[in-house]
């Protein structure tokens, strides 16, 4: 934390071109804006501070995005809610420095980057919470009086975006109950929903969400239909809701071992995470652990499948297997989606390596990937071929043939009194 604070102080003092790279969801936008406001409060001129959002279906590590990032000629780069994966330096310049503020699971990072990550520290803080805790002590006393209030509600909205509106602000998280009470969960929840909509719709206009968040003096102003950016946000949300409704009724198919349920859709909108979450909350099966939604239409014409995976909610009420060890690498339900995906891929020689770094990224309870469609089909074939695990000497039940089925003795005729 101290190293990251020194980075931000040095960045502001150097007065050199600086680039903020926020992720596109509410947590990424809010954490990015916390860092943005803090650098301005520390004295970095606005003319030296830029913001860049990656293209639809891309990431900061792709060759195309690296070329776009290089155009800013930045000497300081701050990544919010993304960047946690191995690779070359974000900016290929000997004097450039990069800071990553993130919570996605990874043990490797871009070369030379300073990293502030909560991924291996339970309970895992969101990127917005990390950014808030990082920046709060840096705000000078001469800063405008409302900046701390802004940082607080940005922290709350970003965290709600990942952990839900019912999240309880208990230690070691900062106490944000007063902030939540002031703006109300309804207003904050609506704000999160609106911020997430532009990046999910087919048009993919993340800049609209950023502009709305930057210009709004409060969460209530953000959700007000009379605000200058409101119509674009409301239109995007309506489009996403309609697309979810269209796609969500596709029936799931189960893997051979019953641990995975696959829902296939084709949509230009990023609704596959929402549909995976919806099915994961309602689908029930004795062996089900993960719901996967595969979207073949998100990036049409390039031959890739985008997929999202979520832990099935029915695992929470199920007795945990004695063989499953609880640790920081698994969730409270004992499920680690990243390891599950890698485990299935390992059944096909060379498949995991072929899918590359865009496979099985994110969190242990919310992962997915962007892979070539033929590679995804090979992964699903491995899941279909998987057989149920045999535990404690028990074999999985098999359907009996009619000749083997036991004869039912207490039939209806037994209740009829014969003369």
Instruction: Report the pLDDT value the prediction gives residue 144, as an integer from 0 to 100.
Output: 83
- Give the pairing type, strands 366-372 and 114-117: unpaired
Residue 399 domain-assigned (yes or no) = no
In the chain the first and final C-alpha atoms are separated, in Å, by 89
Containing structural domain, residue 107? 2-162
Q: Is the peptide bond before 172 cis (omega within 30 degrees of 0)?
A: yes
Calculate the CA dihedral of residues 256, 257, 258, 259 and round it to 10 degrees. Answer: -120
Asked if residue 128 and residue 8 are part of one domain, the reply reads yes
Phi, psi values for residue 376, rounded to 5°: -60, -40
The CATH number assigned to the domain holding 19 equals 3.90.1640.30
The H-or-E segment that residue 77 falls in is strand 76-80
Per the rule left: phi > 0, alpha: psi between -120 and 50, beta: everything else, 394 is beta
Asked if residue 52 and residue 110 are part of one domain, the reply reads yes
The answer to whether 295 and 243 are in contact (CB under 8 A) is no
The CATH number assigned to the domain holding 258 equals 3.10.310.40
Residue 403 domain-assigned (yes or no) = no
Asked if residue 281 and residue 154 are part of one domain, the reply reads no
Closest CA to 257 of 225, 286, 219: 286
Instruction: Report the pLDDT value the prediction gives residue 164, as an integer from 0 to 100.
Output: 93
Residue 414 domain-assigned (yes or no) = no
Instruction: Report the pLDDT value the prediction gives residue 145, as an integer from 0 to 100.
Output: 76
Instruction: Report the pLDDT value the prediction gives residue 334, as an integer from 0 to 100.
Output: 80
- Give the pairing type, strands 359-363 and 97-102: unpaired
Per the rule left: phi > 0, alpha: psi between -120 and 50, beta: everything else, 226 is alpha
Calculate the CA dihedral of residues 104, 109, 114, 115 and round it to 10 degrees. Answer: 20
- Secondary structure in 3-state letters for 404-417: CCCCCCCCHHHHCC
What's the CA gap between 270 and 264, in Å, rounded? Answer: 13
Q: How many domains does the chain have?
A: 3
Residue 200 domain-assigned (yes or no) = yes
Instruction: Report the pLDDT value the prediction gives residue 396, as an integer from 0 to 100.
Output: 54
Asked if residue 204 and residue 153 are part of one domain, the reply reads no
Per the rule left: phi > 0, alpha: psi between -120 and 50, beta: everything else, 368 is left
Instruction: Report the pLDDT value the prediction gives residue 328, as an integer from 0 to 100.
Output: 38
Residue 77 domain-assigned (yes or no) = yes
What predicted TM-score, i.e. pTM, was given to this entire model?
Answer: 0.86
Contact partners, residue 253, CB within 8 Å, separation at least 6: 261, 262, 263, 264
Contact partners, residue 318, CB within 8 Å, separation at least 6: none
Asked if residue 375 and residue 235 are part of one domain, the reply reads no
Closest CA to 125 of 150, 102, 148, 107: 102
The answer to whether 59 and 65 are in contact (CB under 8 A) is yes
Asked if residue 128 and residue 27 are part of one domain, the reply reads yes
- What is the length of the chain? 419
Asked if residue 234 and residue 342 are part of one domain, the reply reads no
What's the CA gap between 383 and 294, in Å, rounded? Answer: 14
Residue 392 domain-assigned (yes or no) = no
DSSP string computed for 103-140 = -S--S--BTT-EEEE-TTSSSPPPHHHHHHHHHGGGS-
Per-residue pLDDT of the chain (419 residues; tens, 9 = 90+): 999 999 999 999 999 999 999 999 999 999 999 999 999 999 999 999 999 999 999 999 999 999 999 999 999 999 999 999 999 999 999 999 999 999 998 989 999 999 999 999 999 999 999 999 999 999 999 888 799 999 999 999 999 999 999 999 999 999 999 999 999 999 999 999 999 999 999 999 999 999 999 999 999 999 999 988 999 999 999 999 999 999 999 999 999 999 999 999 999 999 999 999 999 999 999 999 999 999 999 999 999 999 999 999 999 876 454 333 333 344 555 899 999 999 999 999 999 999 998 999 888 899 999 999 999 999 999 999 999 977 655 555 554 444 444 555 544 343 333 33
């Amino acid at each position: 934390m101290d190293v990251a604070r020194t980075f931000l102080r040095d960045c502001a003092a150097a007065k050199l071109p600086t680039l903020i790279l926020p992720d596109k969801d509410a947590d990424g936008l809010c954490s990015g804006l916390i860092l943005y406001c803090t650098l301005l409060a520390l004295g970095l001129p606005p003319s030296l501070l830029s913001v860049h959002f990656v293209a639809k279906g891309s990431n900061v590590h792709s060759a195309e995005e690296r070329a776009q990032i290089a155009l800013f000629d930045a000497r300081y780069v701050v990544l919010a809610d993304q960047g946690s994966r191995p690779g070359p330096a974000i900016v290929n310049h000997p004097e450039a420095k990069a800071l990553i503020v993130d919570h996605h699971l990874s043990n490797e990072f871009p070369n030379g980057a300073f990293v502030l990550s909560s991924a291996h520290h339970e309970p895992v803080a969101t990127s917005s919470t990390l950014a808030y805790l990082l920046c709060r002590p840096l705000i000078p006393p001469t800063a405008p009086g409302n900046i701390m209030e802004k940082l607080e509600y940005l922290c709350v909205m970003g965290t709600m975006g990942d952990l839900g509106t019912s999240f309880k602000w208990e230690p070691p998280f900062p106490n944000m109950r007063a902030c939540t009470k002031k703006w109300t969960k309804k207003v904050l929840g609506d704000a999160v929903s609106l911020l997430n909509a532009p990046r999910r719709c087919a048009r993919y206009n993340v800049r609209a969400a950023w502009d709305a968040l930057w210009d709004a003096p409060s969460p209530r102003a953000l959700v007000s239909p009379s605000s200058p950016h409101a119509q674009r946000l409301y239109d995007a949300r309506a489009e996403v809701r309609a697309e979810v409704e269209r796609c969500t009724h596709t029936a799931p198919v189960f893997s051979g071992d019953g641990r995975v349920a696959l829902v296939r859709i084709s949509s230009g909108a990023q609704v596959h995470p929402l549909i995976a979450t919806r099915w994961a909350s309602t689908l029930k099966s004795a062996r089900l652990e993960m719901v996967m939604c595969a979207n073949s239409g998100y990036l049409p014409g390039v031959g890739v499948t985008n997929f999202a995976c979520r832990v099935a909610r029915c695992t929470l009420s199920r007795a945990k297997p004695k063989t499953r060890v609880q640790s920081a690498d698994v969730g409270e339900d004992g499920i680690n989606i990243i390891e599950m995906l890698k485990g299935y891929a390992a059944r096909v020689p060379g498949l995991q390596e072929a899918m590359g770094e865009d496979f099985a990224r994110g969190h242990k309870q919310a992962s997915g990937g962007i892979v070539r469609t033929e590679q995804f089909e090979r992964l699903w074939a491995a899941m279909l071929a998987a057989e149920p695990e045999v535990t404690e000497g028990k074999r999985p039940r098999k359907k009996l043939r009619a000749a083997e089925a036991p004869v039912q003795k207490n039939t209806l005729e037994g209740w009829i009194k014969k003369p």
